[in-house]
Amino acid sequence: MTPRLVLINRDYTRLWFGQAVSSVGDAVFSTTLVLWVATVLAKDQTWAPMAVSGVLLATGISVLIIGPLAGVFVDRWDKRRTMLRTETVRGGLVAVLTALSFLPLDALPVGVWLAIVYVTVLTLNAASQFFTPARFSVIGDLVTGEADRARAAGIAQATGQTAWIIGPPLAAPLLFTAGLQWALLLNALSYAVSYVVIRSVGPDRQAPGPEQPGSGNPAQPNSILREFAEGIRFFGRSKFLVALTVLAVIGQFGTGALSTLNIFFATDNLHMPVHLYGYIGTAMGLGGIVGALCAGRVVQWIGASRTTWAGLIVSGLLLFVYSRQTGFVGGVVLLFVFTVPLTMLNTAMSPLLLDAAPAEYRGRVISVFYPVTRLASMLSAVLSGWLASSALRDVGGSFAGIRFGPVDTVFAMSGALVVLSGVYAWTALPRGDSSGKAGPGPAAAPDESLPAAPRGSAQ
């Protein structure tokens, strides 16, 4: 008999395979769109950076506006069917864009092409706001136990990191040799593969709720808002969920500076030639893979809560050490090491969220948690850029033989902030099992009357 690869269990393995194929397609799609907008549609134009930022803005709008309400519907609907319908919508959208891409570039004005791209990205990301919590809930049903859930989250993170190592190098050759339409077609096919894989997974194990399709209770606007408000109340009354969100937000404010300022730190402080900057992304991607694959074992040894607060403290200290680096090799090595505990703590949060969210609230919990942390990441990117370019622009000098400037000062402050979030997590998270069920568990509804990186940036 031919041995088969099984990760945790067969159903999870099938979901993982679908995610792996789709993630590579997303990475190619996202990179291709940015390259196409920057080098073709807006070539040699002064507004090219603004045109590219529109792609990222469309992503952020869908996450912040659609995300919170999407959880209400996900909690109502059959999760597996939600995933299937979402893949159908996304695959259809990309197929339409693929068909349009066969038109000559001058067949439509540049403004119309940009509008088509922005609307497609916005709609794809809006659909993702339904897919992500539905998949989170399905995995919560398929995978049980803190260690296995951490393994599942680690495998997912490692897969996403690998996709972003493989996908972008494929995007440029596909765009400039084969053409835009073939890169888009690859992503459309990846959704088809994901659809087939999801169909092969067993149906939801969750009992149908009172608002499931076919129950005879249509979704009324007032009931949607009521259920959304119930989800917010549940979230706000759970000290455990609030603690997780607060430390995640603080952590995002601490690490978000890297996404905005690392290019300046690498060229100025590490004296790195611009053409070598890609090695930083590779180092962080490899560190993410190592951290994700090790997370399940670490959670099994010390628990998800300890992994979270220890990961924050260690990664904060490493970020501070990184801010003191002055050489290319030392900087790249530090970023690799820094990403390992950072990915471990991100992975450990998945079983914590699953333990804290009853099945009937999972969609709403994730649809609050993810947009809030995404908003924190966006704000931290803007704030760090403002600090380095205005408030701390003239900061510079040396102290005790250590030189400092605006960018490394921001990184040092960010590292201290991450360490503080780790200290907060150490005091706020339970010392026993991850869900805190030794006492009044956070997973229990506070009010008994009331009824858990990435797809890509352009999606």
Q: Which helix (H) or strand (E) holds 403?
A: strand 402-404
Angstrom distance (rounded) from CA 56 to CA 34: 9
Backbone CA torsion sign across 347, 353, 355, 358: negative
Angstrom distance (rounded) from CA 344 to CA 61: 28
Could you tell me whether strands 402-404 and 397-399 are parallel, antiparallel, or unpaired per DSSP bridges?
antiparallel
Angstrom distance (rounded) from CA 343 to CA 350: 11
Tally of CB atoms within 10 A around 213: 14
Angstrom distance (rounded) from CA 345 to CA 361: 23
Q: Does domain 231-428 have CATH number 1.20.1250.20?
A: yes
Phi, psi of 397 (to 5 degrees): 140, -155
pLDDT of 397:
58
Angstrom distance (rounded) from CA 156 to CA 138: 14
**Full-prediction pTM beyond 0.85?**
no
- Mean pLDDT score of the chain, rounded to an integer? 79
Q: What is the pLDDT of residues 336-395, one digit of tens each?
A: 999 899 888 888 888 888 788 787 888 888 888 888 887 887 787 778 777 777 767 666
For the record, the structure tokens of 336 come out as: 């690799």
The answer to whether residues 245 and 373 touch, using CB atoms and an 8 Å cutoff, is yes
- Integer-rounded Cα radius of gyration of the chain: 22
Side-chain-side CA neighbours of residue 403 (13 Å)? 7
pLDDT by residue for the chain (459 residues), tens only, comes to 344 567 788 888 888 888 888 888 888 888 888 888 888 888 877 787 678 778 877 887 888 888 888 888 888 889 899 999 999 999 999 999 999 999 988 889 989 999 999 999 999 989 988 998 898 888 888 888 877 888 888 888 788 878 877 877 777 788 888 888 888 898 899 999 999 999 988 664 444 444 444 334 445 556 777 888 888 888 888 888 888 888 888 877 777 778 777 878 888 888 888 667 767 877 888 888 888 888 888 888 888 888 999 999 999 999 999 998 988 889 999 999 998 998 888 888 888 887 887 878 888 888 888 888 878 877 877 787 777 777 676 666 555 456 667 888 888 988 998 998 899 889 888 765 444 433 333 333 333 222 233 333 333
Measured CA distances, 152 to 74, 139, 329, 351 (Å): 21, 8, 33, 9
Enumerate the domain spans of the chain: 10-203, 231-428
Q: What is the pLDDT of residues 199-231, one digit of tens each?
A: 988 664 444 444 444 334 445 556 777 888 888
The answer to whether residues 393 and 409 touch, using CB atoms and an 8 Å cutoff, is no
Angstrom distance (rounded) from CA 341 to CA 345: 6
**Do the two domains 10-203 and 231-428 of this chain adopt the same fold?**
yes
For the record, the structure tokens of 117 come out as: 């791209």
Q: Does domain 10-203 have CATH number 1.20.1250.20?
A: yes
